[in-house]
Structures are given as structure tokens and as C-alpha cells.
A and B are shown apart, each in its own frame.
Chain A
């Protein structure tokens, strides 16, 4: 069973546009929700993360919105740039440190 569901599978936006990726989880034991960015040939790297006691976290152009009651969270990339083109993974972590990943979103930002 897929405990973290991510959509869309792929996303194409124009430079300067807003990229939005959505995730939903089922396990209420999850207490840490990171987003990872992966470039081809590289390992995933932490982009931004949120805990369920806050509804929003912003770091530069990247914002996580979190809805605890709906068990959903999303990543917004403002002013998307071609350099943002990568695969993005949402994840959820329980206190045992196991990361459960979403299926990934291939983002392409056209110049």
C-alpha cells in the first residue's frame, strides 16, 4: 500500500510561473514532512521540510502548505526557473526515522 501519494507525475511550467505539487498521507504517526529534490545522476537532497504543528513554511521561492485535518501537504515553487527542473519527492517520516516517499514529480521549467 502506498502510504504517501503524490501528484502530478509530471509538470511543465513556463519560466516565472508557479509550480504546485501535491501529496497526501494516511499514517497519522508521521510527524515530519520533507521535500527532496533530485537532479539526474544525483542523490535526493533536502529542499524544505515542515512539522505538522505549523500550516505553512516558506524558504525563498519554496513554500510548503500543510493541512493536518485533510492529511495533505503541497509544495509551491514561485517564479519557477529552468534550474528548478528536477524530480521532486514529498516524504513523510515517523519517529523511527523511516522516510516514506511519494512517487515523485518530474518538473520541467521551460525558458
Chain B
């Protein structure tokens, strides 16, 4: 009964390739996020969707494109992968703002670009 699940858990790919990471949440939340954790463990938000609408779009290269087919899914597509894209990518979800804005994180996808 995983609340926020990401696939794949590990992804090793060559520079220049295009890859996707999928995320699904079964918590009924209306907001989903992508976070990037670098090699120093620093966590930074990339995108946030609320009811399939993009509400946060941090300064991220436009090679990264999120897509939310419905409010339970938020996928991340990355074009023309670069060495610097190597990181752990976390999907998360929460129930909007206000009280109880607890964010639930997935297990992460470790992306290694070689």
C-alpha cells in the first residue's frame, strides 16, 4: 500500500538520451511535486501541480517537462540528458495548503547519467 510510488527506482543512461520518471499517489491528494536532491543531499523543488495545473515552476532547464495526466499522476520527462542531471529525484504529494499540509515523499529515483 505504497502512498507515493515512483518508477524506476534506479536509472542509468547515457548523455543525450531522453528518459521519463513516473509517479503515482493513492492518497487522494490534489497537489503533487517534483524535488531534486543533489550529491550533497540538498533538496530543491522543481515543479508543483495542483489538480493537474502547474503552479510552481522553479528555474529548471526546459529540458525538464512535467506532465500530469490526472491528479493522481505526475510524470517527469527529461530530454537530452546531461552529466549534471545526475541526482535523486523525489515525487511528493500533499493536500493543498492550509492545515495538514504534510508532504508525502516517494522512495526516489536515482538517475545516473554517464
Contact = CB atoms under 8 A, between A and B. Distances in A.
Contact of A99 (B4, B45, B108): B45
Contacts, number: 59
Give the secondary structure class of A's interface.
strand
A42 B41 contact: no
A44 interface: yes
Contact of B107 (A34, A43, A99): A43
With most chain A CB atoms within 10 A of its CB, the pick from B42, B55, B103, B107 is B103
Band of interface residues on A: 20 to 34
A87 B41 contact: yes
B43 A101 contact: yes
A36 B41 CA distance: 13
Interface of B: 4, 31, 33, 35, 40-45, 48, 50, 55-56, 90, 92, 94, 96-98, 101-108
